[in-house]
């Protein structure tokens, strides 16, 4: 009679250290979600930086136009010449335009409210100030 080998007598293969398919899929999903979040944050940062650049340039340009209004004589403030009232900036800032408004405050004869608004394709920036300008009395002859 022949002796039969029992299945349990066979040498078992040694287990190899490896990842299961499920572990690999979970790792790929985690890396993918992290990558999407990182790229989204980076894109948001780029948009914010671009918006900030335009806003800083507009603020500087508005300050320069407001400085022109501050040296304008009181007699000319209420009837601004066209070159001071509105226009477009010279290159490299030619994608910005400005509008200046000046009005006299009610019940204050020598106090003016001045506002400069700088606009560009995607936004605008406004700055204002109040200026005290005593109007010289008219001398009668």
Spatial separation of the C-alpha atoms in residues 116 and 135, rounded to whole Å: 22
CA distances from 87 to 17, 69, 75, 95 (A): 73, 14, 21, 11
Closest residue by Cα to residue 66 from 5, 117, 2 = 117
Closest residue by Cα to residue 98 from 90, 83, 86, 114 = 86
pLDDT digits (tens, 9 = 90+) for 32-75: 999 999 999 999 998 888 889 999 999 999 999 999 999 988 88
Domains of the chain by start residue, with CATH: 20-132 (3.30.1300)
Predicted model pTM: 0.67
């Amino acid at each position: 009679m022949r002796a039969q080998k029992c299945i349990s007598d066979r040498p078992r293969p040694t287990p190899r250290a490896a990842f299961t398919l499920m572990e690999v899929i979970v790792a790929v999903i985690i890396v993918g979600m992290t990558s999407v979040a990182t790229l989204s944050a980076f894109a948001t940062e780029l948009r914010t930086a671009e918006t900030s650049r335009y806003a800083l340039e507009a603020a500087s340009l508005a300050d320069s136009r407001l400085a022109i209004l501050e040296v304008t004589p009181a007699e000319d403030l209420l009837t601004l010449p066209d070159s001071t009232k509105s226009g477009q900036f010279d290159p490299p800032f030619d994608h910005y335009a400005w509008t200046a408004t000046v009005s006299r405050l009610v019940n204050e004869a020598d106090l003016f409210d001045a506002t400069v608004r700088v606009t560009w394709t995607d936004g605008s920036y406004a700055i204002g100030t109040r200026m005290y300008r005593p109007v010289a009395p008219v001398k009668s002859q």
